[in-house]
Amino acid sequence: MSRLHYIRPETLAEALDHLDRHGSRNRILAGGTDLVVDLRNGDARPEFILDVSRLHELKGIDVTPEGVSVGAGVTLSEIQSSDVLERHAPALRKCSFTFASRQVRNVATIGGNVAHCSPCGDTVPPLVIHEARAVLASRRGLREVLVEDIASGPYACSLPPDELILRFILKPAADVTFADFQKIGRRRELVIARINAAAMARQEPDGRLSFFRFSLGSCTPTPHRMPEVESCLDGRVPTAELVWEAGRLLAERTIAITGRRPSTIYKEAAIHGLLVRMLHPLVTS
Amino acid sequence: MTGAHQAIGKSIERVGAREKVTGRARYSADIELGAPLVLKALRSGRPHAEILAINTEKALRIKGVAAVFTAMDIPGKNLTGIILKDQPILMGDKVRSIADPVALVAAETETTAEQALKAIEVDYRDLPPVFDPEKAMAEDAPKVHAKGNVMVSRTIRRGDVGSAFTRCKSIIEKTYRTTFIEHNTIEPDAGAGFVDSDGTLVIYASTQNPHYDHKDVVTLLGLADEKVRIIQAATGGGFGSKLDLNVQGFIGLALYHLRRPVRYVYTREEAYLGTAKRHPLSMRMKTGADENGRLLAMQATIICDTGAYASYGPAVANRAPVHATGPYAIENVDIRSYGVYTNNPFCGAMRGFGTPQIAFAHESQIDLHALDLGLDPLAMRMLNAHRVGSTTATGQVFSASVGIGDCLRAIQPHYDEARKGWTAAPAAPYKKRGVGIGAMWYGIGNTGVQNPSTARVEMDRDGSVTLFTGCADIGQGSSTVLSQIAAEILGLAPQAVRLVTADTKFTTNAGATSASRQTYISGNAVKQAAEQLADVLKTEAMNKLRVAKSALMFDGGCALVIGQPDQCVSFAELAKRIKSKGASLSWQGYFDPETVPLDPQTGQGVPYATYAFAAQLALVTVDVLTGEVAVERVVAAHDVGKAIHPESVIGQICGGVAMGLGFALMEEFEPGKTLSMKDYHIPTCADMPEVVPIIVESPEPSGPFGAKGVGEPALIPTAPAILNAIADALGVRLYALPANLERVLAASIAAGHFKPAP
Amino acid sequence: MDASSVRIRFTLNGQPRSAEFPADTTALKLIRDVLKLKGTKEGCGIGECGACTVIVDGKAVNSCLMLAAQLDGRTVQTIEGLGSPEALHPLQEAFVKEHAVQCGFCTPGLLMSTKALLDINPAPTRAEISKAIAGNLCRCTGYRHIFASIEDAAHTRKEQT
């Protein structure tokens, strides 16, 4: 049996060198809140753990010309206290409030949450509505990929093992009048989402939605934007009936992806209900 | 009365609190015994199978493995269980559940122990399993135990149910179901042990009943009583699950063979897998009421799934039918209850012994009658509530301390206000509000069987007092309460009473910390011991001070003449004088509540000497679109007889409401699927409503200073109140617990609430 | 799992410390088994109960979810650094006074979560307290006396300053 080594690189270059050589036998530790559980349960048996938590390249929340940049090593607590995100990505900030527990939020990172590829990852739907791209680094250079495309299935990450997520670039929520993140779980805190969802919209004075984005998590193998639901509402006045119809459509589209399973009995109605509840503040009679 | 007490009714600092807040309290996993061997059990992983062979050779060859034990290595009787001895600690011939241990490894490290488990080869021949207790009752069902799958049954019959139903205007017949529940004490089970210089096996354990542990370990190992000593370490909660022999037998076995320190600390996963659960009950209940709402008859069939072993299952199967009427006088009853073996995880004691389950049924029934008859649910409860002079289903006539009426009256103003203010006010869109009541009674102590407690109070020559009690304080506060009782009798500050607790070398049997019995039963034993010592002291003081005993009192470690405090003599002096005469300064107390065993055919008898009562009110908001339920407020009125330590009573009430809320809404243990705390949800602080505790004191003449008990009662009315509130909110009722997202949303849809807001 | 050893330096309860352990050692294991500080408890091993909460660089964390190696250069506080039975920290005083301790197994973790909160927010609202301790499960108390203790400690602190 090979020995486990803990590596904490001083520089990004060192980290990328390590990944280049040992990527396939390595697991990246950003906060560690998922990885340490996987190690305990024997679900992860790497030879190397690369602790990237102290690389400054992975830190910081900034507004850049490309968009809002959130470092992959930013913790959920940092997201929670970010004024920049409150202004430019309020749904992302909101998801941090109900993310696991304070103890976990203090350590867990957005990069780790995305790369873990849990279908229930709370940061993913808010990132997806911002059409967020992950900036990836390796010895081969930099490239970008849509967050929506990172997971190839539940807990299956499509990124090659020599790449490291540096940061996420979010399209800022320009002139958005509404943004929300909601989740349904079995209790109020310390909860794994049964369903989670993020939405943002711009509502004109006449009630019409001139912009609408929506993403659903926990229900499909990977969290997705729901284009049919978006186009159902985009450009229209969200009456109670229309929102109800959008909810029904969301449930229908979700089942089209997953097929019917035992959990569908609940989820079909609850997905529908969650969208209706979430968009209720937009309803214009 | 209260004013006359100096220790009783005071919320003094709790015994052990300082050690706990500083992290100094030593729980079983914290005990350092040199370099102990690590123990780990190999569990079957299959529900029902014959064991053909166990080969431990490969495991024994691993470096660092000290031993691997199987059933063959047990020197005494390999059967444990507090009521029925049917559970081997290591299985020899067959396994009956996925958790059944077949081998025990002792190794230098955790990792080595894990490796050894994987290297043990067991040949099984799978047998058909049975998981449904109703199916298990069939003649041709696979037999979990050779004697048959019906472990126990109980009938309670009184009056004439058949003719009573003909006189009823409202008849309701429904079936209620509950699920497996995990105790989820925050401390997983653990223990450690070593062999003392005189050859005694010393076992520290997280336990609710060290004296039972002692008996079963001694029997298991075929040792003399004095060769085993059980010491209760600080115990991180119990709620019934630490009444069974969990790690104690394994530690004893390893000590017996290896004679070197060992420890066994369950991971959370092993605690989930290997320890008892709350019994799922199926309860078919038919009740009838006349046009005024008076309950006339009840017919019920109760099936308790005890899983693979009895544990406390017989107590559940007995207590549930006795409590089936709820705190109401019903003249005609015909109740049958069965405890049934299946290949599920074994079920045992959990806070309430079947009463939380049966309360869900009787409290739903009474609301259904009220709705049917157009009566107010609280008024209907009031009408039927037991009172002094009324007769229970077992024929017991109450002579005192029936506080249910007082509890219902205590919640009445809150109920009226909720009906006016809360439910009448418009809720947010897609939300429905509801109000519900749950009431309960709970017999203190074991059902119709002897369950005595003993205690010893000793005075040293210096006049200091030590209380020796076998009672295990698992966090509920018995050490504090018992020291208050001794202190009250002896006129001391409770802190001045030294405590020696739950160590079988020094204490005598106080029975289990279960059935809400320690304050009432051990409290009486302590009181009696202290009174005997007090009497000796007063006799001596009488001689010294030359006044009648009745003119004497104790204060601050002295006996003094009432009204003439300068006429006094210190305990130290009295102790010396008594000792010099050869009289005893060590007094043993004994108390066994007066009960009459239940008749095997009719269930008539006096199952308990006294009962606690309670009524709770719950206010809920239901999200009709998602099935989420928020419990906003719970008003909890509890008749405890007398609150010896009021803040501890409130602590029990609030903790009970939390556990009841979990039982009502979110807790559900699925065997084979619920593996870790990711899969099982207990309430967080954010799930808790505002709780308004109300202590009702309807004194029990046979109780210490009037006290009864509160530990289990605290939990029992909560789930019924919440479920009744959900039914009130939705207009549709749930008949299965928990009222999880799925069930509540289905009910909302069935009620027609799942539609666009107007 | 065989693991190469890691050596770290850190500050523990105000004292500089160094420690060496296998790479897969969690912070909880380091604290309990290597450093023999038994006040920090293991309740679930996967970050779902909060019994193992300690403070790292001023923040409450689950020590079961952290590798010990991550503590290198950090400042760590455990329950042992708070107060002693003879000289309780005001927060411990409040937990004793308000009867917030029943079985006590969740207590050290709760105290650490609370201390981290009060250090940055001396007068928290009830909602802020709830957010800070929702990751600390208690099965005994129903949380009422815990809230009361924290409010009492915050109040006392306010009066003293």
pLDDT in tens, C29-79: 999 999 999 999 999 999 999 999 999 999 999 999 999 999 999 999 999
Chain A residues touching C66 at Cβ < 8 A? 32, 36, 107
**Interface contact flag, A40 C46, Cβ < 8 Å:** yes
**Interface contact flag, C45 B474, Cβ < 8 Å:** no
Of C24, C26, C61, the CB nearest to A107: C61
Closest approach of chain C CAs to the CA of B655, in angstroms? 4
**Interface contact flag, B648 C108, Cβ < 8 Å:** no
Backbone angles phi, psi at B321, to 5 degrees: -65, -35
Q: Average per-residue pLDDT in chain B?
A: 97
As a CATH number, domain C5-81 is 3.10.20.30
pLDDT band for C15, please (50, 70, 90 cuts): very high
Closest approach of chain C CAs to the CA of B695, in angstroms? 16
**pLDDT < 70 positions in chain A:** 1-2
Chain B residues touching C107 at Cβ < 8 A? 20-21
Query: Which residue of chain B is at minimal alpha-carbon distance from A270?
Result: B626
* Residue closest to B634 by CA, chosen among B697, B685, B688: B688
CA–CA gap between residue B615 and residue B404 (Å, rounded): 7
Give kind and range of the element (H or E) at residue B587.
Answer: strand B586-591
The domain spans of chain C are 5-81, 90-160
What is the structure's pLDDT at C107?
98
Chain A residues touching B678 at Cβ < 8 A? 192
**Interface contact flag, B32 C49, Cβ < 8 Å:** no
Pick the CATH number of A178-282 from 3.10.450.350, 1.20.120.160, 3.30.390.50, 3.90.1530.10: 3.30.390.50
Chain B residues touching C44 at Cβ < 8 A? 268, 676-677
CA–CA gap between residue B275 and residue A245 (Å, rounded): 49
pLDDT average, residue stretch B618-630:
98
CB atoms near residue B148 (< 10 Å):
14
Rg (Cα) of chain C, in Å, rounded?
16
pLDDT band for B424, please (50, 70, 90 cuts): confident
B623–A contact, CB cutoff 8 A: yes
What is the structure's pLDDT at B426?
84
Angle between the C107-120 and C144-160 helix axes, to the nearest 10 degrees? 40
Token pair for B732:
């549709």
Residue B639 predicted with pLDDT over 80: yes
Classify A151 as helix, strand or coil.
Answer: strand
A40–B contact, CB cutoff 8 A: no
CA–CA gap between residue B545 and residue B568 (Å, rounded): 7
Q: Are A241 and A262 in contact (CB under 8 A)?
A: no
CB atoms near residue B92 (< 10 Å):
14
| Residues 6 or more apart whose Cβ sits within 8 Å of residue A109 | A30, A31, A53, A58, A72, A73, A74, A75, A76
Q: Report the relative pairing of strands B552-555 and B497-501 from DSSP bridges.
A: unpaired
What is the structure's pLDDT at B1?
38
Best residue of C65, C106, C118, C131 to probe chain A, by most A CBs closer than 10 Å:
C65
Query: Which residue of chain A is at minimal alpha-carbon distance from C110?
Result: A103
CA–CA gap between residue B216 and residue B506 (Å, rounded): 18
A103–C contact, CB cutoff 8 A: yes
CA–CA gap between residue B433 and residue B437 (Å, rounded): 14
What is the structure's pLDDT at B2?
39
What is the structure's pLDDT at A284?
85
Q: Are B706 and A211 in contact (CB under 8 A)?
A: no
- Is CATH 3.30.43.10 what the domain over A5-51 is classified as, yes or no? yes
* Residue closest to C95 by CA, chosen among C154, C160, C153, C158: C153
Of A6, A51, A104, the CB nearest to C62: A104
Give the largest Cα separation in chain B, rounded. Answer: 89
Backbone angles phi, psi at B595, to 5 degrees: -135, 160
ipTM of the complex: 0.98
What one-letter code names the amino acid at C140? C
Q: Average per-residue pLDDT in chain C?
A: 96
Give kind and range of the element (H or E) at residue B67.
Answer: strand B65-69
Chain B residues touching A273 at Cβ < 8 A? 430, 623-626, 745, 754
CB atoms near residue B72 (< 10 Å):
9
Q: Are A164 and A136 in contact (CB under 8 A)?
A: yes
CA–CA gap between residue B367 and residue B289 (Å, rounded): 12
pLDDT average, residue stretch B454-465:
97
* Residue closest to B244 by CA, chosen among B61, B66, B99, B389: B99
Chain B residues touching A274 at Cβ < 8 A? 625-626
B186–A contact, CB cutoff 8 A: no
Classify A164 as helix, strand or coil.
Answer: strand
Best residue of A28, A101, A190, A192 to probe chain C, by most C CBs closer than 10 Å:
A101
**Interface contact flag, C38 B657, Cβ < 8 Å:** no
Chain A residues touching C4 at Cβ < 8 A? 3-6
Q: Are B51 and B124 in contact (CB under 8 A)?
A: yes
Closest approach of chain C CAs to the CA of A189, in angstroms? 6
pLDDT average, residue stretch B95-123:
98
What is the structure's pLDDT at A2?
58
Residue B474 predicted with pLDDT over 60: yes
Classify A62 as helix, strand or coil.
Answer: strand
Closest approach of chain C CAs to the CA of A47, in angstroms? 9
pLDDT average, residue stretch B274-290:
98
> Domains of chain B (ranges plus CATH)?
31-127+184-274 (3.90.1170.50), 281-447+599-750 (3.30.365.10), 452-591 (3.30.365.10)
A187–B contact, CB cutoff 8 A: yes
Of A5, A6, A103, the CB nearest to C50: A103
Of A244, A266, A280, the CB nearest to B742: A266
A4–C contact, CB cutoff 8 A: yes
Chain A residues touching B681 at Cβ < 8 A? 186-187, 191
Classify A12 as helix, strand or coil.
Answer: helix
CB pairs under 8 A between B and C: 179
Query: Which residue of chain C is at minimal alpha-carbon distance from A98?
Result: C131
CB pairs under 8 A between A and B: 68
Of C23, C26, C131, the CB nearest to A5: C23
CB pairs under 8 A between A and C: 100
As a CATH number, domain C90-160 is 1.10.150.120
Task: For B124-180, write each residue's pLDDT tens digit.
Answer: 999 999 999 999 999 999 999 999 999 999 999 999 999 999 999 999 999 999 999
pLDDT band for B681, please (50, 70, 90 cuts): very high
As a CATH number, domain A56-170 is 3.30.465.10
Of C48, C64, C131, the CB nearest to A102: C131
Percent of chain C residues past pLDDT 90, beyond the cut: 93
Which of these ranges, A65-74, B399-408, B424-433, B447-456, has the smallest mean pLDDT? B424-433
Classify C146 as helix, strand or coil.
Answer: helix
| Residues 6 or more apart whose Cβ sits within 8 Å of residue B457 | B465, B466, B467, B468, B486, B490, B526, B529, B530, B532, B533, B586, B587, B589
Please provide the size of chain A in residues: 285
The domain spans of chain A are 5-51, 56-170, 178-282
Q: Which chains touch A (3 or more CB pairs under 8 A)?
A: B, C
